[in-house]
Every structure is written in C-alpha cells, then in structure tokens.
Amino acid sequence: MEAPGPLSHRRFTSQYDQGLPFIDRLLRQTRELSWLMLQWMRKGRRPIALLVWPEMPSRRAALYKVARSMGFELTNQSRENAVLGIRFEDKTEKLLTFNPPQKSSITWWNVACNDIRKSTLESAHNKVFGYGMGVEPTAFEGKMVVKSDENAVHDGQVIKGPLSAVSLRSDAVYQVEIQNTDEKGRHFDHRVVYIKGHIPVVYIKYKQAATRFTNLTEEVILLPDSNCFTEEEKRSMGALALELGVDYAELDVLRDANSGKLYVVDVNPTPWGPPAGLSHEQAEVAIKKMATTFAQALRESSK
C-alpha cells in the first residue's frame, strides 16, 4: 500500500491507496462520508479524530472498529480536533523516517516501532524475559520449528535437527517447538490485545495440528479477564512492547506445557480483529473493552 502524499485540512474524507481499483476507493469514501454526515446530524459537529499514517486501515482492522465504537473519525488527514495519532504501517520493517502530516502537539503511538521481524522479537524477548525461542539449528538435536523471519507469513514447519550448514535458510529463524496442546490434542495460543500498558482483551485460539501455524482456527474464546497471566508476566509483556516501540498491538502468546514458560511469538501493530470464529456478541464485547481502554489511555496521557 502506498503512503498518502502531503495532506491538508481541505480534504473532507480520508485518502485511500491509489493502488486500489477506482470503484473500491469510491465505495470506501462514500461509506466514510455517509458515516461522517450521520455523526454530524446527531452531534451537530464533526466527530473527534483519531489519526493514522501512513496507511488507512480497512474495515477488517480492529482499530477501525474501535474508532467507530468510540464515535471517532479514523482518518489519515490532518484534523484540528485530533486527539491521538497512531502509526499504521502494515510492513515487517517500517519506513526509516516517520514524518506524519499533523503538525501539532498530539501524541503519536507506535512511532518507534520500526522492525517486527522474528529475529528482532527474539533479541527483545531474551532481554526482557531472560530467555528466548531460538536454537542453533546445526547443533540442536530433536524437533524444532523453522519459520520465515518476515512477519505474517504463517509458514512454520516442525523439522528435526541438527541440520547441515548448507541447508540453512538465510530468511528464516529456528526455534524450540513449544508444547501448547489441550486435552483434545488441539494447539492453542493466547491473542493478547495490548494498549499503552493495559491488556483489556485476551482470546484463546484453538487450531488443529495441520493448521497450527496458520490463521485458521477451530474455535475462538474471549476470556473474561487477563488472569491467565501472572502480574510478572504482564509486566514482562509490557516491557517487551516498550522494547519494540509498541504502544498498541496484538501479541501471540504461547505457554509451554512442559516448562510453564511464556513465549511471545508474534507482535502485530496493525491487527485485524476480533478474530474469525468469535461470535458476533463476543466480538462486540471485545470491541467495547478495547474502546474503553483506549479512552482510559487518552485520559492518562492528558494528565
């Protein structure tokens, strides 16, 4: 997706990726304009703005749904009534220079999040938790996981080590196989929503063995709270987010059944959600929880 060019107050709706088909862009702008006009009629003014840059999230993004729940305009255009900006760049390695168009005193989140490669996450995980997932594939004996260093590829495979040096992939990481199966033999992980030091939402995602490294789920459950983690584990996840320059993201977290250790295997600052498989009612609960926490974080930042 291309980043928008220089922006001003003159554009009424957001600017959408020029790489999209014209009819697609027209539909998005029409949808946005209709929503803005409805809000204007209800409130007698333009909604408060939540800025995003350089990319404009789709309707599938969790941030889009949270903004709508809060009654906020989500836009990549400068607004005088903007209260927060969020760097939204769906790439593993981000732009080297983050230079958003809004020239004001608003706070921008995720500005320091430049790199979410698996190898970068591994270094941060070792620093914060005191242990990581990585193994030396030419020396490790037994089952291990190989996956692309690039984010969101979902190509993990269980292989057996040790490997020969000539067979190693330069674009991959090699990790321990985390034992995360339930009594039915399903693999499961926790999807953790992180918002500026808070964890308002945790899902459990269950998968069959054949799809354990993909986004295909058999069942998704919204937990009532984050008590599945200790206070120390929550602090460590917050410290990991800080180390990676993250203010808002979703984390994929696995607990190893043998050691009890917690592993954060993925950090996504541009998540879609709530995840497919969650009921409509539970998805609404999750969105409202996120919206409440966003509002709380805004109040805390204004003190």
pLDDT, one tens digit per residue, over 71-120 is 999 998 888 889 999 999 998 888 767 777 665 678 999 999 999 999 99
Q: 36 to each of 8, 33, 48, 50, 70, how far by Cα in Å? A: 18, 5, 11, 13, 13
Tokens 């993004």 correspond to 61
Residue 5 has what pLDDT?
43
CA–CA distance, 277 with 289 (Å, rounded to integer): 18
CB atoms closer than 10 angstroms to residue 290:
24
CA–CA distance, 59 with 82 (Å, rounded to integer): 20
Percentage of residues in the chain having pLDDT higher than 90:
69
Q: Is 247 in contact with 241 (CB distance < 8 Å)?
A: yes
Q: Is residue 144 over pLDDT 60?
A: yes
To the nearest whole number, what is the mean pLDDT of the chain? 90
- Tokens, residue 68: 């709508």
What's the DSSP call for residue 61? B
CATH number of 118-131+179-301: 3.30.470.20
* Residues 64, 66, 71: CA angle, nearest 5 degrees: 95
pLDDT confidence bin for 26, thresholds 50/70/90: confident
Q: Is 273 in contact with 250 (CB distance < 8 Å)?
A: yes
User: 295 phi and psi, to 5 degrees?
Assistant: -65, -40
What is the mean pLDDT of the segment spanning 151-179?
94
Q: Is 241 in contact with 194 (CB distance < 8 Å)?
A: yes
Q: Is residue 8 over pLDDT 60?
A: no
Q: Where in the chain is the domain with CATH 3.30.470.20?
A: 118-131+179-301
